[in-house]
Structure 1
Amino acid sequence: MLTEDGRHLYVSYDEYHNLIEKLAIKVHQSGWAFDTILCLARGGMRPGDILSRIFNVPLAIMSTSSYRAEDGTVQGHLDIAHYITTPKGQIAGRVLLVDDLADTGVTQQAVVDLLRRSYQPIAELRTAVIWTKGCSTFQADYSVEDLPTNPWIHQPFEGYDSLTPDKLLAKWKV
């Protein structure tokens, strides 16, 4: 649900999963066949996992991080892992790169540039996101929702960003 001022988008688990299914439909209807899904951890892990199951292809993971301050609400320095975790040895062939959103677009562009420069076995690379903000400098090949007002997206699992083991113990009175 988008707030009246357009500054916040609140997404339930059901809405989140419906959007991932819509993303799967867009990819499928394009007719493009791919060999592997490469998700960007952390935001792309949930969509990547679901798409991997729907398309029955291996899921590879590349860790990136830029939103660490203030419980994940402030973007900082972009870190990209040096290695990709994949069940097939080395990532190769046609790869669908998945993330949750194109916010500024900096992460996706940096990863695409790195993959094209350093991973020659990738024959073709396409990108997919659930949301694309209006301020993004990156346009994914597949996207479900365009957000021209650049709202902060409140994803259903964000409560875990500020949950500590001690808070969990108190919640469950263990």
Structure 2
Amino acid sequence: MSDLYITWSDYHQKIEQLALQIYESGWQFNQIVCLAKGGLRIGDILCRLFDLPLAILSTASYSGPEKQNRGAITFSRDLSMTTANLGNRVLVVDDLVDSGFSLERSLVWLDRKYGFYIDEMRTAVLWYKACSLIKPDYYIDYLPNNPWIHQPFEKYERLGPKQLAASYTQAESADASKFS
């Protein structure tokens, strides 16, 4: 499996491109649901751009030391949202579709829990891998070789508060030595 490394600048540019793609489609939606953790940043930016409410569905399916072992998906008990009800035209966002299992199961979960409110759901991701069993409605990059995507925030999965504090202490010592 090849690797794809994404910088913060690339990441934010792709979110903006996704927003434009959704906007230019002309689809009128009234709720964004992001799948956390991967879709949090995307959902946050899209809800600000479109000025729509954001709901969060916490999911987990990856584990292991590098968070690269796919397992069974776990869902939160409910959505976290600030509106009394879920909108009826829902944009479901995540960072990527790998196998597509998480996105597909999330759509089923939403339909079972909130289907009474929902007339239409569409999906949006930054990266759509060829190995996915589901094709998102909106995506920026189609990845035929199914690379492992290294996103800029992944460093925090390997860095604890103690290591972070140590890195700041080292940086401050280095800065102080420049002026001695």
TM range (shorter): over 0.9
**Aligned Cα RMSD in Å?**
1.3
SS at match of 1:122: coil
Q: In the TM superposition, what is the alpha-carbon distance from 1:173 to its structure 2 partner?
A: 2.3
Question: 5+ residue gaps in structure 2?
Answer: 171-180
Higher helix proportion (structure 1 or 2): 2
In the alignment, which residue of structure 2 is the partner of 1:38? 33
Question: 5+ residue gaps in structure 1?
Answer: 1-5
Within a 5 Å distance, the mapping from 1:57-76 to structure 2 comes to: 57-76=52-71
In the alignment, which residue of structure 1 is the partner of 2:151? 155
Higher strand proportion (structure 1 or 2): 1
In the alignment, which residue of structure 1 is the partner of 2:21? 26
Paired residues of 1:69 and 1:76 also in contact (CA < 8 A): no
Q: Work out the CA distance in 2 between the residues paired with 1:18 and 1:12.
A: 10
Note the alpha carbon deviations across 1:58-85, whole angstroms, 9 max, x for none: 1110000011212312112210112001
SS at match of 1:92: coil
In the alignment, which residue of structure 2 is the partner of 1:171? 167
In the alignment, which residue of structure 1 is the partner of 2:44? 49
Q: What amino acid is the match of 1:170? A: A
Q: In the TM superposition, what is the alpha-carbon distance from 1:169 to its structure 2 partner?
A: 1.9
Note the alpha carbon deviations across 1:138-158, whole angstroms, 9 max, x for none: 111101100010000010111
Note the alpha carbon deviations across 1:17-61, whole angstroms, 9 max, x for none: 111111011101110111111000000001111111111111110
Please state if 1:116 is matched with 2:106: no
In the alignment, which residue of structure 2 is the partner of 1:3? none
Q: In the TM superposition, what is the alpha-carbon distance from 1:171 to its structure 2 partner?
A: 1.1
Q: In the TM superposition, what is the alpha-carbon distance from 1:92 to its structure 2 partner?
A: 2.7
Q: Which has the larger radius of gyration?
A: 2
Q: What amino acid is the match of 1:173? A: T
Paired residues of 1:68 and 1:76 also in contact (CA < 8 A): yes
Identity of aligned residues (%): 44
SS at match of 1:76: strand
- TM (normalized to structure 1)? 0.93
Paired residues of 1:102 and 1:129 also in contact (CA < 8 A): yes
In the alignment, which residue of structure 2 is the partner of 1:127? 123
In the alignment, which residue of structure 2 is the partner of 1:7? 2
Deviating 4+ runs (over 6 angstroms): none
